[in-house]
Amino acid sequence: MSHILVTGGAGFIGANFVLNWFGTGATDGIVNVDKLTYAGNRKTIASLDGDARHVFSQTDICDRAALDQFLATYKPRAVVHFAAESHVDRSIHGPGDFIQTNIVGTFTLLEAVRAYWSALDEEARAAFRFLHVSTDEVFGSLEADDPQFSETTAYAPNSPYSASKAASDHLVRAYHHTYGLPVLTTNCSNNYGPYHFPEKLIPLIIANALGGKSLPVYGDGMNVRDWLYVGDHCAAIREVLARGRVGETYNVGGWNEKTNLDVVHTLCDLLDELRPKAAGSYRDQITFVKDRPGHDRRYAIDARKLECELGWKPAETFETGMRKTVQWYLDNQGWVQDVMSGEYRNWVAKQYAA
């Protein structure tokens, strides 16, 4: 069986990618490497336990010896690199982890992959791909009337998180231009969907609404993001991996620019419909809080290159994707409660105690 190596495959986007990969009938196995920090949830991919196509290892991408071993043992035809610290608020309060994982980790992975790739035969070298998954936040902030981010927009990161991701993007680019490593980079907008860690806006609002807590909205709530359903993002990554031009970057967006307040209102209205309160609306719980330091005002992705070259465009509208997302959280309250309580971190030890 041929394999691909996936880093961060127990996190939000990575786990969705792994589950979707097998759900689409892909023939390659996956070697899934994840450090299982607070945002990595082994339980998310528990349905793959016992599946010979999926090999999981709790491994830090900064562990060069472990990476070398996986590459030598499984001889992957591609690497898809999701592993990253990704929450802006956490990067403001503790940037060190972001520098270590996003920059040092990416460098360590690139060095391991370069050594592996260099030793392949000519045909395997030509077929190999390293796909680096990044973010639109590396481009900085847009004014209301600015054009959307394109693949040629200058980098201008404004948080420790986005600066660390920008650095990783530059490393990937450099390894292509200096060493010839066949790389691909995707820069995506804000993802949402199943298995999202509930510190991020959408799952946080759903959890707080159902728990009768306040629904915190930063500043005036007018910060704009482009929202991309995670399943659409996974489909885009598969297309880029299969047919993207080596050395190129591709923006992945949902064509859904919404203010944070619009998102919260949409969630409240869906919850009013699907899980109504005894009295009143969930909108009654909205509370405006002090704005995040250096909060970027607007992100917006121009994804026309990906559509023109590879034929990808999102299958979900904002309305259909949000409805699916809210319904998933309502149907999977056990998963949410495990995460909120921290019990999910004990699950692995209990599950594999024997």
Q: Is residue 343 annotated as part of the catalytic site, yes or no?
A: no
pLDDT at residue 187, as a whole number: 98
Q: What are the DSSP calls for 147-210, one per residue?
A: PPB-TTPPP---SHHHHHHHHHHHHHHHHHHHH---EEEEEE-EEESTT--TTSHHHHHHHHHH
Query: Of residues 60, 85, 137, 296, which has the active-site annotation?
Result: 137
pTM score, whole prediction:
0.95
Query: Of residues 34, 85, 136, 169, which has the active-site annotation?
Result: 136
292 three-state secondary structure = coil
- Band (319; pLDDT cuts 50, 70, 90): very high
pLDDT at residue 347, as a whole number: 55
Q: Is residue 248 annotated as part of the catalytic site, yes or no?
A: no
Rounded to the nearest 10 degrees, what angle do helices 106-118 and 64-74 cross at? 40
Percent of the chain at pLDDT above 90? 90
24 three-state secondary structure = coil
Q: Is residue 309 annotated as part of the catalytic site, yes or no?
A: no
Query: Of residues 34, 85, 116, 161, which has the active-site annotation?
Result: 161
- Band (198; pLDDT cuts 50, 70, 90): confident
Query: Which of 78 and 199 is assigned the larger pLDDT?
Result: 78
pLDDT exceeds cutoff 90 at 353? no
Tell me the average pLDDT across 297-306.
97
Spatial contact of 98 and 166, defined as CB atoms under 8 Å apart: no
Pick from 237, 239, 225, 256: which is nearest to 133 by CA?
237
User: What residue ranges define each of the domains in the chain, with the CATH number in brackets?
Assistant: 3-349 (3.40.50.720)
Backbone angles phi, psi at 183, to 5 degrees: -105, 160
pLDDT at residue 343, as a whole number: 79
- CA dist 246 and 131 (Å) reads 10
Q: Interior CA angle at 89 toward 142 and 108, to 5°? A: 90
Tell me the average pLDDT across 117-121.
98
Backbone angles phi, psi at 4, to 5 degrees: -120, 150
pLDDT at residue 354, as a whole number: 42
pLDDT, tens digit, for every residue of 156-172? 999 999 999 999 999 99
